Amino acid sequence: MGNLNMNDIAIPSASKASYPVRSGNALRPLIDGEPAFRRICEAVEHARRSVWVTVTFMWASCRMPDGRGTPLDVLHRAAERGIDVRVIFWRPDPETEQLKTNAFWGAPEHFEGLRQSRSDIRIRWDRAEPGYCQHQKSWLIDAGADSEIAFIGGINLNPHSVVAPGHRGEGQNHDVYIELAGPSAVDVHHNFVQRWNETSERGLPDGRWGEGSGDDLPFPTVIPRQRGSIPVQIQRTIHSGRLANGHAATQGSDYPIGEGERSNFELYCAAIDAARRSIYIENQYVAVAEIVECLHRALRRGVEVVVLMPADAQSHAPLLHLAAFDRFTLAGIAGLNEAGRRCPVWVHAKVMIVDGEWGTVGSCNLHRYSLFGNCEMNAAFWDAKSARALLDELLREHLDEDVSGMDDLAALRRFGAIARSNRRLDVAGGGSWQGLAFSQLPC
């Protein structure tokens, strides 16, 4: 399938976004943590100017692929080469205190580890609005240079996530990143500068680390050169109480001041409402009533809908009434452990592909926290070739089958058929599954 012009795709852009649609981008999907972080580490190791990262969770036990050590080891080595390495870490507040366990939140032992490593990286810590989370997971290489590359997704830095496709083993997460090069990288650049300059803890003694971490950054003024042909729009969720001073605009942008942003919510609703044939979703949660109602309307229009979620019955409740439609599939995935038994894989990806022509990948769950309060970032793209490449790679993993010769509607129907067959085999306790996908609806 060839590229389509954005004007040929029915899905509108987000009209209330901080960032416009920019053409001329290149995209590359990165499925699951091991391949994604292998590629990210390669980019860090070849960085010429800077490595800027936003992190939510980072476990001490996380190791990067191919013996590279911890994420901090990778960043320390880059800083030792003279690269400007900066990280924004989330610091949970009293309402989210229980999440400190898995966060590098600036505890005394975290500072001691940094001192012992003699680290040259620059760190700022940032709280969210009470009860919410700084949930962006982005990597930006060589900000402002011709070699600028951004990575946008939702993969956390933990051993459950840095895993290979196919998910052989227990306690694994399935997740997705997208690699972005071209004009829209300037918006990832702007987002980092905006967040860095306004981190909540920057004025506190334990709110930053490293020589130069007290310095603010200039906003970008030049849009990167074209690296491809794909239109991309950076979507965000920004609470209305955050990031009030995004005042420096690059060409072709109008950054709102102090109003918050819900372009993730706006574009998810618009894309589902514009779907003509098929909707494929991977998400940890689909729990917001407006999103569920959009899916209901799509099913009534005759759209084929597949939703891939964790095997968590409680989170399925908002979607169960959609099972009245034969065109609806609610699925999970399960891999084999060393003993050959099926183990559920936690679906942590935040992906939607519509009509095989449009997609979005990022950090945004479809629950009220991500859509209305957390700090989130996705990349939406209007390109049939990229959307189908992502869909085909995901379904190749989940179905152990190549669906690239099918149209999007047939591919999702094939997904539903295999998922239901695997469900029947699981209930019956016999036979051999195809791939990983199984239906989470009653047989």
**274 falls within a domain:** no
2 within some domain: no
Query: From CA 125, how far away is CA 87, in angstroms rounded?
Result: 8
Q: Is residue 32 part of a domain?
A: yes
Residue 366 DSSP code: B
> Which of 170-179, 198-207, 307-316 comes out lowest in average pLDDT?
307-316
Helix (H, G, I), strand (E, B) or coil at 232: strand
pLDDT at 247 over 60: no
Q: What is the pLDDT of residue 244?
A: 58
Backbone angles phi, psi at 368, to 5 degrees: -65, -30
Q: What is the pLDDT of residue 431?
A: 73
Flag whether pLDDT at 365 surpasses 90: yes
Mean pLDDT within 300-316: 94
Spatial neighbors of 393 by CB under 8 A, at least 6 apart, are: 29, 31
Query: Confidence class of residue 108 from pLDDT cuts 50, 70 and 90?
Result: very high
Among residues 123, 118, 120, 80, which one has the least CA distance to residue 105?
123
Mean pLDDT of 130-141: 97
Q: Is residue 91 very low, low, confident or very high in pLDDT (cuts 50, 70, 90)?
A: very high
Does residue 93 fall inside a structural domain?
A: yes
Give me the mean pLDDT over the 367-378 stretch.
Answer: 97
Look at residue 251 and tell me whether its pLDDT is greater than 50: no
Beta bridge partner(s), residue 235: 378
Asked whether residue 439 is assigned to any structural domain, the reply reads no
Tokens 């650049």 belong to residue: 189
| Helix or strand (DSSP H, E) at 262 | strand 261-262
Residue 430 has pLDDT above 80, yes or no: no
Within a domain: 33: yes
What CATH number does the domain containing 135 carry?
3.30.870.10
How many folded domains does the chain comprise?
1
Full domain range(s) for residue 82: 8-230
Residue 106 lies in a domain: yes
Please compute the mean of the pLDDT values over residues 353-368 and round it to a whole number: 97
In a domain, 148, yes or no: yes
Q: Please determine, for residue 281, whether its predicted confidence score (pLDDT) is greater than 90.
A: yes
| 157-161, Cβ contacts within 8 angstroms, sequence gap of 24 or more | 157/55, 157/57, 157/58, 157/59, 157/62, 157/71, 158/57, 158/58, 158/59, 158/61, 158/62, 158/102, 159/59, 159/61, 159/62, 159/63, 160/346, 161/33, 161/348
Measure Cα distances from 122 to 74, 214, 280 in Å. Answer: 14, 9, 39
Per the CB < 8 A criterion, the answer to whether 161 and 59 are in contact is no
Helix (H) or strand (E) holding 428: helix 408-428
pLDDT at 224 over 70: yes
Which pLDDT value is given to residue 314?
83
pLDDT greater than 60 at residue 252: no
Residue written as token pair 């574009």: 267
Pairing of strands 149-153, 176-181: antiparallel
The pLDDT, as a whole number, for residue 258 is 52
DSSP 3-state of 88 = strand
Q: Characterize the bridge pairing of strands 304-308 and 278-282.
A: parallel
Pick from 145, 148, 155: nearest CA to 57: 155
Tens of pLDDT, residue by residue over 156-187, are 999 999 999 999 999 999 999 999 999 999 99
State the pLDDT at residue 10: 87
CB atoms within 10 A of CB 314: 5
Host H or E run for residue 187: helix 185-197
In tens, the pLDDT along 20-64 reads: 999 999 999 999 999 999 999 999 999 999 999 999 999 999 999
Q: Are strands 84-90 and 176-181 parallel, antiparallel or unpaired?
A: unpaired
What pLDDT sits at residue 315?
Answer: 86
Reply yes or no on whether the pLDDT at 149 is more than 60: yes
CB proximity list for 316: less than 8 A, separation 6 or greater: 309, 330, 440
3-state secondary structure string across 366-416: ECHHHHHCCEEEEEEEECHHHHHHHHHHHHHHHHCCCCCCCCHHHHHHHHH
Report the range of poorest mean pLDDT among 4-18, 167-181, 317-331, 396-410: 4-18
Would you say 385 and 2 are in contact if contact means Cβ atoms under 8 Å apart? Answer: yes
- State the DSSP code for 224: P
Helix (H) or strand (E) holding 173: strand 173-174
Among 4-8, 45-49, 221-225, 292-296, the least confident range: 4-8
Residue 255 has pLDDT above 90, yes or no: no
β-bridge pairing 328-336 and 230-238: unpaired
Q: Where are the alpha helices (DSSP H) in 144-261?
A: 185-197
Contact 100, 112 (CB under 8 A): no
The total number of residues written for the chain in this structure? 443
Which residue in this structure is represented by tokens 């009533």? Answer: 289
pLDDT for 245 equals: 55
Cβ atoms of 346 and 315 within 8 Å: the answer is no
Return the higher-pLDDT residue of 146 and 363: 363
State how far the Cα of 156 lies from the Cα of 176, in Å rounded to an integer. 10
* Local confidence band at 254 (pLDDT 50, 70, 90 cut-offs): very low
